């Protein structure tokens, strides 16, 4: 459907999500939607975890973002020449561990510079407790009881 004379094009998992939007929107609870983006809840980076290399440059990072009260694990990235060293595993383990008492979501996004199979990524994320949802490419990790103490505020 053209939007202002522009026809959006979706590829991969986004094509599947776009095709299912009418069905998925029909499942949403009836509640008023923001009239404008200015009224939409802001997306804020709640925490950013990173590993620096020997020069002090970022070698890997991951973020936990608050999108209107829904927490998303996002932007998991490892510098190309540092991949295969366990950085992603360490960062994701730390983020999930610190947010274990909260429900977390993530969108599978293979690297564009060295594509990984989305199925392999789903298995990787599954090892941290993420499960498939009704939306293709979106995974959910249910809240778990706290082990140890909850993260510090602020």
Is 2 inside any structural domain?
no
pLDDT in tens, the chain (154 residues): 444 445 444 445 555 655 666 665 555 555 554 444 455 556 677 889 999 999 999 999 999 998 888 899 998 999 989 988 999 999 999 999 988 889 999 998 876 666 677 888 899 999 999 999 999 889 999 998 766 655 555 4
Please state the pTM of the whole predicted model: 0.66
Q: Supply the pLDDT for residue 104.
A: 94
Query: How many domains does the chain divide into?
Result: 1
Buried b (16+ CB within 10 A) or exposed e, 89-107: eebbeebbebbbebebbbe
Is 72 inside any structural domain?
yes
CATH code of the domain covering residue 74: 3.40.630.30
Domain that holds residue 75: 39-141
Is 30 inside any structural domain?
no
Is 4 inside any structural domain?
no
């Amino acid at each position: 459907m053209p939007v202002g004379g522009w026809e959006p094009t979706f590829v991969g998992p986004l094509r599947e999500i776009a095709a299912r939007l009418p069905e998925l929107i029909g499942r949403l609870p009836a509640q008023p939607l923001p009239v404008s983006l200015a009224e939409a809840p802001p997306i804020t980076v709640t925490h950013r975890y990173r590993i620096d290399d020997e020069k002090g440059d970022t070698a890997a990072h991951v973020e936990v973002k608050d999108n209107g009260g829904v927490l998303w694990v996002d932007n998991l990235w490892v510098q190309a020449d540092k991949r295969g060293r366990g950085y992603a595993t360490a960062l994701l383990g730390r983020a999930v561990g610190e947010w274990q008492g909260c429900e977390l979501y993530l969108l599978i996004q293979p690297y564009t510079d060295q594509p990984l199979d989305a199925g392999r990524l789903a298995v990787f994320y599954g090892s941290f407790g993420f499960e498939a949802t009704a939306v293709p490419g979106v995974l959910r990790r249910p809240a778990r009881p706290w082990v140890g103490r909850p993260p510090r505020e602020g």
